[in-house]
Amino acid sequence: EAGVAQSPRYKIIEKRQSVAFWCNPISGHATLYWYQQILGQGPKLLIQFQNNGVVDDSQLPKDRFSAERLKGVDSTLKIQPAKLEDSAVYLCASSQATWRNDQPQHFGDGTRLSIL
């Protein structure tokens, strides 16, 4: 099966600019996650979708970050305006999990964002 696809792989922008990331999950996976991974740390969940509904966005900085999952498939994550502290790798993952947490997450290789 095809894995989780993310683009772009790298992005360099100046602070206060906007940026968007795209994710195509594994076909048939109901749950989609966006994580932020700062160098040397574990992934931190930003937002979780089940189909096209938001399950958890408690750690999403909503004043600058937004995400959507149209038609319950592809997803985009946007940052506007970007701050220096947003420099990180943004990972997308998908899973077959629905009401139980007993399924693995499948990750893309992420987008490495650098803010100048």
Partner 1 sequence: SQKIEQNSEALNIQEGKTATLTCNYTNYSPAYLQWYRQDPGRGPVFLLLIRENEKEKRKERLKVTFDTTLKQSLFHITASQPADSATYLCALDNYGQNFVFGPGTRLSVLP
The only residue of 75, 79, 108, 115 in contact with partner 1, by rule CB under 8 A: 108
Residue 4 contacts partner 1 per CB under 8 A: yes
Q: Smaller CB distance to partner 1: residue 81 or 112? A: 112
- Contact assessment for residue 50 and residue 101, using Cβ atoms and an 8 Å cutoff: no
Contact between 41 and partner 1 per CB under 8 A: yes
**Cis before 81 (ω within 30):** yes
Cα–Cα nearest to 41, from 83, 78, 88: 88
Q: Residue 35: which of 14, 16, 51, 56 has the closest Cα?
A: 56
* 107 binding partner 1? (CB under 8 A): yes
Binding site for partner 1 (CB under 8 A): 4, 33, 35, 40-45, 48, 55-56, 91, 93, 99-102, 104-110
